[in-house]
Homo-oligomer: A and B are copies of this chain.
Amino acid sequence: MITTNSEVKAKFLRGFSDKTRLQILESLRESEKTVSQIVETLKGNQSNISQHLACLKGCGIIIGRQEGKYIYYSLRNEEIKQLLDLMQSVFVNVELEVAACEKNDELDCCQSNKEDVANESGGR
């Protein structure tokens, strides 16, 4: 009888399901940063980063505090950091396991890149 609203929970977790957002979170792991620091670190587009930050904030994963013209973003709390750590370690193990046990050496979620894979058959 766990059953929280799966829809809202999915929205929360969607915050972690993007490459750029994961990079942002990783860069915030050590310390809070301003938007421009993040943009510089990731060598990303300002607008793009800003949107991802809004996403992460909306998901409750990070918080922002204003200081003059800067806005410092940081992970919401210690728990989020723990979650990131566990995600990381579980991921690494799964990756190894998948690579070891199956011919498939790349995680392939959902009905994505079918033709892509077919086309670049000579890859890597």
Contacts and interface: CB of A to CB of B under 8 A. Distances in A.
A72 interface: no
Contact of A22 (B9, B20, B21, B22): B9
A12 B109 contact: yes
B59 A107 contact: yes
B26 A3 contact: yes
17 contacts: A2-B26, A6-B22, A8-B107, A9-B19, A9-B88, A13-B17, A13-B87, A13-B91, A16-B17, A51-B110, A55-B110, A58-B108, A58-B110, A59-B107, A60-B95, A76-B97, A82-B86
Number of chain copies forming the complex: 2
A86 B88 contact: no
B17 A14 contact: yes
A55 B22 contact: no
Contacts of A112: 11
A106 interface: yes
